[in-house]
Chains A and B, each alone.
Chain A
Amino acid sequence: MEEMAICIDVAKCMGCRACQVACKNWNCLGAEQTENIGSHENPPDLSARTWNRLVYRETLMPNGDVMWSFFNDRCRHCNPPSCAEGAEDVPGAVVWDDSGAVVYTDKTRELDFDDFFSYCPYGIPRQDPETGRIYKCTMCIDRITNGLEPACVKACPTGALNFGTKKQMLRYARARISELGPNANLYPGEDYNTLWVLPESEESYNLARATSARKHYRAAREPFSGVLAGAVFAVLGFLNFITQRRGKVADTEDNNR
């Protein structure tokens, strides 16, 4: 499969969090008992059950205007993924799919979480305290390998979340950066399969460029299809439903002409 990417156009996000709900819905992730601690942000952190979340940030500018930004935090799907290095001892625990998606499997239970966590420059992986399994965004590997966009992208009403081939997404990002003006930039950089177009500097979003990326590591990418055969089957059923539905809609339209 061609290399794919998600491009998050931060300027287009209005903070509705449909992406958070869609992620939980598709991936069957439970809710967390949260509380409001003085922010609309919730859940308070990524977790084994929360794979993407919006970080709200508001600043009063010197001219009296308010800057209010929404940053969707999630796995960067690094290329190459340095977390895979941390999982070298357990083959198959981290799969780097040829789509660019970095996917954690059930075998992550066998990893030492603290050690494994230290390999991620962005602090993304989370362990389920009960099962020991480690989780994060999979780029909806079961959807994208079947021709669908990730659930969060599907749910986004404003076009802030985009999905396509890496080439398309880089082209999109460059075009948007030139539209958005001199402060706009690509985060974290081109060697990632999650790309953010930031309208303002990284510092405005409290983001630091990765410091501990282990550039020497080159993992081999491999197709993911074998791992998720069951899920693929389910998705094909869904596709079949969609196709039929489209047929029906077309029929109705014809009948009304």
Chain B
Amino acid sequence: MTNHWIDIKNSDYILVMGSNPARNHPISIKWVRKAVEKGARLISVDPRYTATSREAHIYAPIRSGTDIAFLGGMIRYILENKLCFYDYVRHYTNASFLVNPGFRLPGDNNGVFSGLHGRNTPEGVVDGRYDKATWEYQRDKNGVIKKDMTLEDPNCVFQLLKKHFSRYTLDTVSSITGTPRERLEAVYSTYARSGAPDKSGTVLYAMGWTQHTVGTQNIRAMSIIQLLLGNIGMAGGGVNALRGESNVQGSTDHCLLYHILPGYLKMPRASQADFDHYNKKYTPKTVEPQSANWWSNYPRYSASLLREFYGREVPLEEAYRFLPKIDDGENYSWLTIFDRMCRGGFKGLFAWGQNPACSGANANKTRIALARLDWLVNVNLFDNETGSFWKGPGMDPGKIKTEVFMLPCAASFEKEGSITNSGRWMQWRYKAVDPPGEAKPDSDIINMLYARVRHLYEKEKGAFPDPIIKLRWEYGPKDGNGRVIHIDSHMVAKEINGYFLEDKTVRGKKFRKGELVPDFTYLCDDGSTSSGNWLYCNSYNGHGNMAARRGRHDPSGLGLYQGWAWCWPLNRRILYNRASVDIHGRPWAPSKPVIRWAGGKWKGDVPDGGWPPLSAGRDSRLPFIMQSEGMGRIFGPGLSDGPFPEHYEPLESPLERNILSPQFVSPVIKRWDFQTGTGTLNARATSDPRYPIVCTTYRVTEHWQTGVMTRWQPWLAELEPAMFVEMGRELAEIKKIRNGDKVIVRSVRGAVEAVALVTVRLRPLAVDGRLVHQVGIPYHYGWATTADREYGPGDRKPEVLTFGDSANLVTPNIGDGNTMIPETKAFMVDVIKKA
């Protein structure tokens, strides 16, 4: 979230789309309601009338997978009706930037942007890749971007945006999304009112936006709207991803994903042979006056990270050489890993705190992949469908070679440490009870593993032992042999913050060797500082463990609670807050000022840099400090699939055509469905009468993820004991299905049994001149806790048995063009009554 949970209360217009907070983030509704009590308007856009829709002033149904069309229509509406916040757009966004005249929009270029190379097929280009030469800005002789502050130049971003989205008329959008025209207008006209300078609008989204082949562009579309309406940086504004796990923000910050290192530093590629080359590649340069270009500090952060990993004894250059590298052109995301595993490309797997056999898209493929491993280590609280995959449905244990080890681990309340919530608040948590039996905290399991692996390298050497042997491992008290006995969370937290490794003067301030670094503005690129994650440098310093703070003072009245826990970066509660004021530092919304310039300094939240307001000229800096141009990006040339969002159909669609263009699905997504000889393993069935129903997936309040923690909890299992499929009455009638019937939901890849839940909350939509039905299935079930399996002598039987297996048995293995997150929110199925 650019903002945070409590801040929702400051909003005037709340758009909930791609999420269902009343069910999946119930506490957030408290803040939504506080806003509504003060007069805010709440809008819910969802394929299904949800518990959140029930709270809303306006509900608009939508065909799953058509969010860009919906939001593109809103962009057009804002521009056509001149509802932008023009001062904000001019001064704080790249709307005025001039783009290469050779740039072509999809409307003039067969549905794709200029520069696409790929294979032509009847449904457009596939396996495409963009050459972005025409996506560049025009520059003057000094390299400064040319701008037209009147926003009239036909090549300026603003005019290109207008032209691009002029195709997204109400009728076209309604025909794509199935949303009735008057509902579209109601949503657009209401939300656009947040463009008034003193009003703010927020968007609450979750997996309903991300889990699409165009997931990144869904969020881009909304970011554009937020920039046009001047909602970024404002109290009650921002772009807010509701994180479903208590610590998913923290795990991302600390590089859960393969392509990043802690603090969103880039994972090096094989061709980046030396540290200098690597730093140069990822340190952006700018000649824009007034651009802070914060990432120009990249070498300070990367050097400090290497120091944390390997200490002062290993030269930075050598430490860089020790880092694992991604082979050029390779992608190690979930879908590719499991595809490779399926083809025998892996010997072993640590399934750590996860349940791939149920959680990964196209679960049949995942389960087959697990059987191709030599060994599998399942680290979890409970046995699950992954650890026991070899005795799951359709498996013959006698024919499976995989050796499985179960390592029981501690739950969150059985260990001390921090979590970082959706609003970027790092909050310290204390241990409540000891873990049961042999269960250990994950960090202690890693510590034991490390000790063994290191010992083996010391004894047997191996191909490249140094990266392991020379690792610094200062994370706990040591025994006589120098081995860490157990992990101390405080020592880890301090390593993450970082130390001065020598006596050092930075910006006139003297520091002693061994001192904690006060914040990341003191990190150095010469190897004199360490920091395990620059974003968290400031979280555990001379003032103590900032995450453990519990101050309840809120002088802002906005719910910033700056003394409660700690928030990255630098305890800044609302990101890009320098955009919440005019060029003189006066708040756009005087009744809810995030910061304001008074008496020669900023008051309020920690500003995005202490420079004076823009009117100060050369001494000031533009508000979007993480962009090299300093401006909010309406035009976003960094993405793989286009600088503007464009509507493409999901990989599996009920339609034969993309109403907007000859390009059917996103041209840049990585496709597996062309592979031959893999049967239905990677199959796709689009526009196929055998699978005429749009299916989406979601969650219920009572279960967590694949249900490993909740299906064993009898009080939760009794509330939602079974896999269900929600379907409209109209579809049920066609399919001769009665409420409560056992049915089979099947896609071209697999099938899952469910209980039919016939409801008036899902209704057919008129799409491209026909009726399209949608159904929805929950994510949480698995065969391991059901009645129809064998329980051996050593198997624990749950107190309340559940019914049904994973929704992922029917979902497709296809990822977003930028992030590879699977498209599990829109695919095609059939539903039949079980004989």
In the bound complex, CA of A253 to CA of B552 (Å): 8
Q: Does the CB pair A33–B22 fall under 8 Å?
A: no
Q: How far is the CB of B770 from chain A (nearest CB, A)?
A: 20
Q: Does the CB pair A36–B721 fall under 8 Å?
A: yes
In the bound complex, CA of A11 to CA of B717 (Å): 26
Q: How far is the CB of B545 from chain A (nearest CB, A)?
A: 9
| Residue in B29, B59, B550, B714 whose beta carbon sits within 8 Å of that of A256 in the complex | B550
Residue interface mask B47-77, A partner, CB < 8 A = 1: 0010101110001000000000000000000
Nearest A residue to B762, CB-CB: A66
Q: Does the CB pair A256–B22 fall under 8 Å?
A: no
In the bound complex, CA of A31 to CA of B30 (Å): 29
In the bound complex, CA of A169 to CA of B59 (Å): 33
In the bound complex, CA of A253 to CA of B553 (Å): 10
Question: Which of B214-222, B264-272, B797-805 lies at the interface?
Answer: B797-805
| Residue in A40, A42, A68 whose beta carbon sits within 8 Å of that of B49 in the complex | A68
Q: How far is the CB of B526 from chain A (nearest CB, A)?
A: 33
If A30-B714, A32-B718, A249-B550 touch, does A14 touch B54 (CB 8 Å cutoff)? Answer: yes
Question: B33 to chain A: which residues have CB within 8 Å?
Answer: 12, 158
If A157-B29, A158-B33 touch, does A38 touch B755 (CB 8 Å cutoff)? Answer: yes
Q: How far is the CB of A29 from chain B (nearest CB, A)?
A: 9
Nearest A residue to B741, CB-CB: A38
Q: How far is the CB of A142 from chain B (nearest CB, A)?
A: 19
Question: Which of A20-28, A91-99, A107-115, A183-191 lies at the interface?
Answer: A20-28
Question: A20 to chain B: which residues have CB within 8 Å?
Answer: 715, 719
In the bound complex, CA of A257 to CA of B543 (Å): 10
Nearest A residue to B756, CB-CB: A38
Is B549 located at the chain interface by the 8 A CB criterion? yes
Is B27 located at the chain interface by the 8 A CB criterion? yes
Nearest B residue to A58, CB-CB: B760
Is A206 located at the chain interface by the 8 A CB criterion? no
Residue interface mask B696-718, A partner, CB < 8 A = 1: 00001110000000000011111
Is B600 located at the chain interface by the 8 A CB criterion? no
8 A Cβ contacts from B547-570 to A? 548-552, 563
**Chain A count of residues within 8 A CB distance of the other chain:** 38
Question: B741 to chain A: which residues have CB within 8 Å?
Answer: 38
Q: How far is the CB of A156 from chain B (nearest CB, A)?
A: 10
Question: A21 to chain B: which residues have CB within 8 Å?
Answer: 715-716, 719
If A31-B717, A158-B33 touch, does A16 touch B701 (CB 8 Å cutoff)? Answer: yes
Is B26 located at the chain interface by the 8 A CB criterion? yes
Is A221 located at the chain interface by the 8 A CB criterion? no
Residue interface mask B703-747, A partner, CB < 8 A = 1: 000000000001111111110100000000000001111000000
Q: Does the CB pair B22–A14 fall under 8 Å?
A: yes
Residue interface mask A154-165, B partner, CB < 8 A = 1: 000111000000
| Residue in B27, B758, B761 whose beta carbon sits within 8 Å of that of A38 in the complex | B758
Question: A17 to chain B: which residues have CB within 8 Å?
Answer: 701-702, 719
Nearest A residue to B23, CB-CB: A16
Q: Does the CB pair B30–A35 fall under 8 Å?
A: no
8 A Cβ contacts from A236-257 to B? 249, 252-253, 255-257
Question: B166 to chain A: which residues have CB within 8 Å?
Answer: none
8 A Cβ contacts from A1-57 to B? 12, 14-18, 20-21, 24-25, 30-40, 42-43
In the bound complex, CA of A42 to CA of B758 (Å): 16
Question: A204 to chain B: which residues have CB within 8 Å?
Answer: none
Question: B700 to chain A: which residues have CB within 8 Å?
Answer: 40
Q: Does the CB pair A35–B721 fall under 8 Å?
A: yes
If A17-B702, A36-B803, A66-B760 touch, does A256 touch B544 (CB 8 Å cutoff)? Answer: yes
In the bound complex, CA of A99 to CA of B38 (Å): 36
If A14-B54, A158-B30 touch, does A68 touch B718 (CB 8 Å cutoff)? Answer: no
In the bound complex, CA of A252 to CA of B716 (Å): 35
Is B759 located at the chain interface by the 8 A CB criterion? yes
Question: A159 to chain B: which residues have CB within 8 Å?
Answer: 30
Question: A24 to chain B: which residues have CB within 8 Å?
Answer: 715
Is B757 located at the chain interface by the 8 A CB criterion? yes
Q: Does the CB pair A66–B49 fall under 8 Å?
A: yes
Q: Does the CB pair B757–A157 fall under 8 Å?
A: no
Residue interface mask B801-813, A partner, CB < 8 A = 1: 1010000000000
| Residue in A31, A59, A252 whose beta carbon sits within 8 Å of that of B718 in the complex | A31
Question: A16 to chain B: which residues have CB within 8 Å?
Answer: 22-23, 26, 701
Q: Does the CB pair A31–B714 fall under 8 Å?
A: yes
Q: Does the CB pair A35–B803 fall under 8 Å?
A: yes
Main secondary structure of the interface of A (DSSP, over half): loop
Is A175 located at the chain interface by the 8 A CB criterion? no
Q: How far is the CB of A198 from chain B (nearest CB, A)?
A: 16
Q: Does the CB pair A158–B548 fall under 8 Å?
A: no
Q: Does the CB pair A68–B720 fall under 8 Å?
A: no
Q: Does the CB pair A58–B759 fall under 8 Å?
A: yes
Question: A157 to chain B: which residues have CB within 8 Å?
Answer: 26-27, 29-30
Q: How far is the CB of A33 from chain B (nearest CB, A)?
A: 6
Q: Does the CB pair A39–B800 fall under 8 Å?
A: no
| Residue in A38, A65, A256 whose beta carbon sits within 8 Å of that of B757 in the complex | A38
Question: A15 to chain B: which residues have CB within 8 Å?
Answer: 51
Question: B756 to chain A: which residues have CB within 8 Å?
Answer: 38
In the bound complex, CA of A7 to CA of B356 (Å): 45
In the bound complex, CA of A20 to CA of B171 (Å): 46
Candidate in A15, A16, A59 with the most chain B CB atoms within 10 angstroms: A16
Question: B801 to chain A: which residues have CB within 8 Å?
Answer: 33
8 A Cβ contacts from A200-236 to B? none
Q: Does the CB pair B719–A42 fall under 8 Å?
A: yes
In the bound complex, CA of A59 to CA of B719 (Å): 22
If A24-B715, A158-B29 touch, does A40 touch B720 (CB 8 Å cutoff)? Answer: yes
Q: How far is the CB of A30 from chain B (nearest CB, A)?
A: 7
Q: How far is the CB of A70 from chain B (nearest CB, A)?
A: 9
Q: How far is the CB of A42 from chain B (nearest CB, A)?
A: 5
8 A Cβ contacts from B425-454 to A? none
Question: A36 to chain B: which residues have CB within 8 Å?
Answer: 720-722, 724, 740, 755, 757, 803
Candidate in A16, A36, A159 with the most chain B CB atoms within 10 angstroms: A36
Question: B54 to chain A: which residues have CB within 8 Å?
Answer: 14, 66, 68
In the bound complex, CA of A14 to CA of B757 (Å): 19
Q: Does the CB pair A68–B714 fall under 8 Å?
A: no
| Residue in A12, A30, A35, A58 whose beta carbon sits within 8 Å of that of B722 in the complex | A35
In the bound complex, CA of A252 to CA of B54 (Å): 41
Q: Does the CB pair B29–A14 fall under 8 Å?
A: yes
In the bound complex, CA of A111 to CA of B701 (Å): 39
Nearest B residue to A67, CB-CB: B54
Nearest A residue to B717, CB-CB: A31
Q: Does the CB pair B760–A59 fall under 8 Å?
A: yes
In the bound complex, CA of A59 to CA of B49 (Å): 12
8 A Cβ contacts from B18-55 to A? 22-23, 26-27, 29-30, 33, 49, 51, 53-55
In the bound complex, CA of A255 to CA of B53 (Å): 44
Nearest B residue to A61, CB-CB: B760
Q: How far is the CB of B56 from chain A (nearest CB, A)?
A: 11
Sample of 16 further A-B pairs with CB below 8 A, known A16-B701, A157-B29, A253-B563 = A14-B23, A14-B51, A15-B51, A17-B719, A31-B714, A31-B799, A34-B718, A38-B738, A38-B756, A42-B718, A58-B759, A66-B53, A68-B761, A157-B26, A158-B33, A249-B550
The 5 closest A-B pairs by CB, nearest first: A38-B740, A31-B714, A38-B739, A36-B722, A60-B760
Q: List 27 A-B contacts (CB under 8 A).
A: A12-B33, A16-B22, A17-B701, A18-B26, A21-B716, A24-B715, A30-B799, A31-B800, A35-B721, A35-B803, A36-B720, A36-B722, A39-B739, A42-B718, A42-B720, A58-B759, A58-B760, A58-B761, A60-B760, A65-B59, A66-B760, A158-B29, A158-B33, A249-B550, A256-B543, A256-B544, A256-B550
- A interface with B by C-beta (< 8 Å): 12, 14-18, 20-21, 24-25, 30-40, 42-43, 58-60, 65-66, 68, 157-159, 249, 252-253, 255-257
- B interface with A by C-beta (< 8 Å): 22-23, 26-27, 29-30, 33, 49, 51, 53-55, 59, 543-544, 548-552, 563, 700-702, 714-722, 724, 738-741, 755-761, 799-801, 803
